Each structure stands twice: as C-alpha cells, then as structure tokens.
Amino acid sequence: MEERAMMKTDTLDQIAYALYLAERDVYEVTKFVERYPELTVETAYDIQDKLIELKCKHEQTSISGLKLGLTSKAKQQMMGVHEPTYGVLLANMAVNAQHPISLKSLIHPKIEPEIAFVFKEDLVGPVVTVAHVLTATAYVAPAMEIIDSRYLNFHFTLPDVIADNSSSSRYIVGSQKYAVNEVDLVNMGCIFTQNDEMIATSTAGSVMGHPARAIAWMANKLIARGQHIRAGDIVLSGALTGSATMHAGDSFTVSFDGMESLSVQVER
C-alpha cells in the first residue's frame, strides 16, 4: 500500500488513458518509468486494471481471459525483461484464422506461438499447482498471439509492459481441442514458420518447465488483487519462441507435435 501511495490516482488514470489513446489512434508513447521512476509492479497492475476498464467501456467489449508474458527464456532474452507478466484478453481481440489479418489499426505488430488453455472451472490462488491447473482445464489448443507494444520501438521495463496490458493486441486460437492428457505439455515440439520458412523451434516445456506452471504462477498472483481465472476463460500461457515482426502479405504457421497446425495470413 505504501508503494502505491507514492503515485496519485490521477497520475495512474492519466497513464492508463495515454496508453488507451496510443492504441486507439495507433501511435507510440515513451516509457513511463522515465517520467515516473517510482512506478512499481503493483502500481503498474493498477494502471492495467484502469486500462481494461477504459477499453471495456469505450470498445463495448468484455473480458474473455488472460495471457502470460515473458514466460520463456527466448522471450525474456529478446525483450530484456527477466520476469513473467500477465495481462487481460478481451473478446474483441480474438481473430478468426479463416480471414486475412489487417495490420491497419496496429502500430508495429509481432506474432508468436502459444498454447491456449480454456478453463471449465474457476481457479483461485494462492496455492494453485500444475495439477490444479490441469484439472480445471477443459482443453488446450494451438494459438498465436499478436503483440503490439504501445512503447516506442517496443522498448519497455517490467512496470511499463505491465501497465500496457503486457503488449496484448490480438489472439488466434485453433479450432481443434485437445484434452490435457492427449498431448505432452513438456516435450511436445513446436515449429514456427514464416512464409514457409522455419524461423524458430521450441518445446512446450520452454515455458517455465510446463506451461501450466506459468498459469499456476499467475493464479497465485491474481488472488493478491482479488482476482482469479474463471470458468470459460481462455488463457495464453506465453510464447515458446521469440516473436516475429509482421509484414503485409506474410503467412505464419505454428505446428505442435500431435496437434493440428494453425496458420494465419496477413492482408496484402
């Protein structure tokens, strides 16, 4: 509480609004830690909550789930931030893989392979384990996330990225559903291709040893803010490889061992 008291509510509202406008009007902003060195992780999640409230209200959408960020070494090294984060998914961020994706309303989008978990039961911290996550999961599916940091050149610190809803922008979930015991969530291989060229490979366990561990971590964090994973939520467990910059006309495919591959096409 003391940490939070260092920044006025007005300032947090202003930062949330600045991030909301940057996304709405498609421009970059500079990192807030430069102006507000006192910005902490806790305060940043307060800003994220305010940003989600703004987006739900102005875009007339609602929460569809959550996402983990920076849960693999590949992503942590790429972004220079060495702790996981989480963010909120909204219904209007869901993209249908059947149609080419337009980049028009995006700033500098990147795409990354993920494993989606869809929940059939609430999952409430603070002592959630991998086993609890798996029991509460209805199914897993291949997914891709489009991230689009609102920060200049995609550069941020941990509090900055948290305030910016962990760079969330769009997500695509494959239509084929798999029970958690149908796939190997530790050793399953993942191949990520751009325009039919392999750009990265990984394994499911690259996400904190087991992607469900990342979700357990998040569930145990959420409860400190009075929040939890709800039945019906979609949770992206974090990219398994580095992300790829998206260009007009590109196609991207993620193939996991034992799952149907998922492809998206970017509009020309």
Chain residues binding ligand OOG by CB under 6 A are 67, 69-71, 75, 79, 112, 145, 147, 149, 161, 166-167, 238-239
Dist CA 147 CA 110 (whole Å):
5
Encoding tokens for residue 28? Answer: 């970059």
Instruction: Find the part of the chain contacting Mg ion (CB under 5 A) among 25-33, 134-142, 232-240, 249-257.
Output: 232-240
Dist CA 259 CA 223 (whole Å):
32
Could you say which of 74, 146, 239, 264 contacts Mg ion (CB under 5 A)? 239
Q: Which is closer to ligand OOG, CB of 214 or CB of 259? A: 214
Dist CA 94 CA 85 (whole Å):
20
Q: How many CB atoms lie within 10 A of CB 126?
A: 10
Q: Which of residues 81-140 bind Mg ion (CB under 5 A)?
A: none
79 binds, among Mg ion, ligand OOG, none (CB under 5 to 8 A by kind): ligand OOG
Q: Which is closer to ligand OOG, CB of 29 or CB of 147? A: 147
CB of 210 within 8 A of CB of 176?
no
Could you say which of 46, 145, 148, 233 contacts Mg ion (CB under 5 A)? 145
107 binds, among ligand OOG, Mg ion, none (CB under 5 to 8 A by kind): none
Encoding tokens for residue 60? Answer: 């007339």
Instruction: Find the part of the chain contacting Mg ion (CB under 5 A) among 94-102, 123-131, 180-188, 238-246.
Output: 238-246
Q: How far is the CB of 72 from ligand OOG (least distance, A)?
A: 7
Identify the three-state secondary structure at position 14.
helix
**DSSP state for residue 226 in the 8-state scheme:** T
Provide the residue type at 106 as one letter: L
Dist CA 246 CA 255 (whole Å):
18
210 binds, among Mg ion, ligand OOG, none (CB under 5 to 8 A by kind): none
* Chain residues that interact with Mg ion, rule: CB under 5 A: 145, 239
